[in-house]
Amino acid sequence: MDEKILNKKAGIGPVVFLSAFSLFFLVGITLIFSSMFASVKASFAVTIILLFWILLSAVNLALNFISIMIKKNLFFPLSINNLLNRFLLFFAGIIGIFFLITRDRLEASFIEFNNRLIKLKKKHLKGEEILILLPRCIQNNECKNNVVGDINNCLSCGKCDILSIKTAIKDKGIKAVLVTGGTQARELVKTRRPKAIIAVACERELTSGILDTSTIQVIGIINIRMNGPCFNTRMDVNALNSTLAEILK
Ligand code: SF4
């Protein structure tokens, strides 16, 4: 596959910049709100709560950024981290419109930001503790083998990336599953209870998956949509190999 496509990275700049900008925007909005309703007693309490929440989000963003820079895990537990990031990401998306930063670019940046943080957490997992979730559209649309149930049904013709994924996880005890949607993915996570998930999907799906899964480390790999969305998609298998090398025992 074209190296230029594989090496295209969003970088963490857009998400850090827009999240930081959101904080200033939120402080401004909160102060305007409090001055408008200064005569109402309850507005004081609301202002304090909002400012506290914004401060917490700012501290979280700073800790995340410092953790990535010094390569040390200093950030809050994932459940708090994801909650605060979800809050900032919402406003970052709105502010991104004014800076012509698309939702996809912001989400790609967030996924990279998240991946770099997650890789700072406890590594050295066993293969059995890792679950790889793949989108249904990664299978070549002409393939008649039922790899949704089990990727071992792939006959290794090499027309899609399933062959390379099978090779990447061979003899490592890792389970890789093609899922048809978010509901199936959530069910699978509930039953298998992995310690880490490597998910391959589009920016939108990965962002919501990362933010919804607060107790499990999720590393996202954005799929490559050379044929348009949800059709014969590809993935950067090198990214999968390097991620496995980093987190496996
Ligand atoms: S590599 Fe496997 S899943 Fe992909 S088209 Fe060939 S047989 Fe089907």
Render each residue's pLDDT in the chain as its tens digit; 249 residues. Answer: 555 555 567 899 999 999 999 999 999 999 998 888 777 777 888 899 999 999 999 999 999 999 999 999 988 999 999 999 999 999 999 999 999 999 999 999 999 999 999 999 877 899 999 999 999 999 999 999 999 978 999 999 999 999 999 999 999 999 999 998 888 898 999 999 999 999 999 999 999 999 998 889 999 999 999 999 999 999 999 999 999 999 997
Instruction: Give the distance (Å) from ligand 1 centre to CA of residue 184.
Output: 22
Rounded to two decimals, what is the model's pTM?
Answer: 0.92
What span, in angstroms and rounded, lies between the C-alpha atoms of 22 and 20?
A: 5
Contact 97, 25 (CB under 8 A): no
Residue list, ligand 1 pocket, CB within 6 Å: 139-140, 143, 145, 147, 154-160, 162-163
Ligand 1 pocket test target in 142, 156, 159, 161 with most atoms within 8 Å of CB: 159
Residue 81 CA: distances (Å) to CA of 116, 140, 246: 14, 37, 22
According to CATH, the topology of domain 127-247 is Rossmann fold (3.40.50)
Residue 178 makes CB contacts below 8 A (sequence gap 6+) with: 134, 135, 136, 138, 139, 147, 148, 151, 162
Q: Where are the domains of the chain?
A: 3-118, 127-247
Residue 156: which region, alpha, beta or left (left: phi > 0; alpha: psi -120 to 50)? left
Instruction: Give the distance (Å) from ligand 1 centre to CA of residue 192.
Output: 25
Nearest atom of ligand 1 to the alpha carbon of 140? 5
Instruction: Give the distance (Å) from ligand 1 centre to CA of residue 9.
Output: 27
Instruction: Give the distance (Å) from ligand 1 centre to CA of residue 193.
Output: 28
